[in-house]
Amino acid sequence: MHRQLIRCLAVLSVIFFGFAGVAAAAEVVLYSSNPSELLDLVSQGFEAKTGIKVSAVRMGTGEAMKRIAAEKDRPLCDVFWSGDSAVLENAKENFQSYKSPEAAALPAGYVEKDHRWTASNAHVMIIMVNKSLVKAEDMPKAWKDLFDPKWKGQIVVGNPEKSGSSYAQAYGIYKLYGWDGINKLIANAKILDSSSLIYKGVAAGEYPLGVTMEYAAHRYIAGGDKNVGIIYPAEGAFVAPEAAGIVKNCPHPEEAKKFLDYLISKPVVDEIFAQFSRRPARLDAGAAEGLPALQDIPTLESFDPMEADKLQKEILAKWKEIVLSK
């Protein structure tokens, strides 16, 4: 009787833990800096297609990188989406190699050489204008036009010490016009700590011009705001890819691979573009109503996210020095 009881308990243990393993496997834990509505769109679509639940934890990119590093001996996260590719490059030791079949549609340089991060979308940095405050004939046509003294106090930019997108913009100005350009931009601009305050402020009519992301400005236009306009500067918009990666030794590796495949697949990136104006990284992506195709936009070819990462400490230190000297 005693032996039979032990055998029954052993069988029940196998069944219990077996089912527990199946339940645990049918999940993906996602750390993401993206808006809740966008996370809901992707999570619900993935679950409907695969039956795999997505547990999304929303946090800033910097916080996510710190948490993934702190959890490296016992990871709790499966996938991170999305942050500047240079940020993931710096943290790539915490991500595992995975070559998604969907990555074949991405441009060169949009996948880490060992496939530890993969670009999902690209931010296009532009000048946002409130057309009720700026006449058509006065609108800037190039980045260098922002240096004109007539715009002093009329331009808002983000603080590159606190915002990754704002740093990408500062790096782009530096690539084009060096420290002289940075000096002239700072002399004219109001610097805000939150990048969201820029597009919200321009849309609300608090500021005539703002340096921001295309998708943020276009969401106002798509929503029917007639006062918001987008200027693609003549020297070229700055295009900064954002990426996703699978955490090394994550608890649900196979499910994580399926999620990454889904995330960068054409139907999903096209839907994200249509609903949230976020440009896909894929070369074969569809168009979004009201926005030109990426190949029809002048872009700065010398914009290099990896170089931007290498120069970050130098540029931020000099930026701070210039700001404090004003």
What pLDDT, on the 0 to 100 scale, is given for residue 309? 84
> What are the structural domain ranges in the chain?
2-122+241-289, 123-239+296-325
| pTM, rounded to two decimals | 0.80
Q: According to the model, what pLDDT value does residue 172 have?
A: 97
φ/ψ of 212, rounded to 5, equals -155, -165
User: Residue 185: its pLDDT value, please?
Assistant: 98
User: How far is CA 113 from each of CA 57, 89, 297, rounded to the nearest angstrom?
Assistant: 28, 10, 27
pLDDT at 5 over 70: no
Q: Are 171 and 266 in contact (CB under 8 A)?
A: no
pLDDT in tens, 56-74: 999 888 889 999 999 999 9
What confidence score (pLDDT) does residue 86 get? 83
- The CATH architecture of the domain made up of 2-122+241-289 is 3-Layer(aba) Sandwich (3.40)
Crossing angle between the packed helical segments 305-325 and 164-188, to the nearest 10 degrees: 40
The mean pLDDT value for 286-295 works out to 84
**pLDDT at residue 23, as a whole number:** 41
Distant-in-sequence contacts of 103-112, Cβ < 8 A, 24+ apart: 103/264, 105/266, 105/282, 105/283, 105/284, 106/264, 106/281, 106/282, 106/283, 107/281, 107/283, 110/85, 110/241, 110/243, 110/281, 112/85, 112/88, 112/243, 112/245
Q: What are 113-154's pLDDT values in tens digits?
A: 999 999 999 999 999 999 999 999 999 999 999 999 999 999
CA within 13 Å, CB half, 38: 22
Range 25-39 average pLDDT = 91
Same fold, 2-122+241-289 and 123-239+296-325: yes
- Structural fold of domain 123-239+296-325: D-Maltodextrin-Binding Protein; domain 2 (3.40.190)
| Spatial distance between the Cα atoms of 213 and 35, rounded to a whole number of angstroms | 15
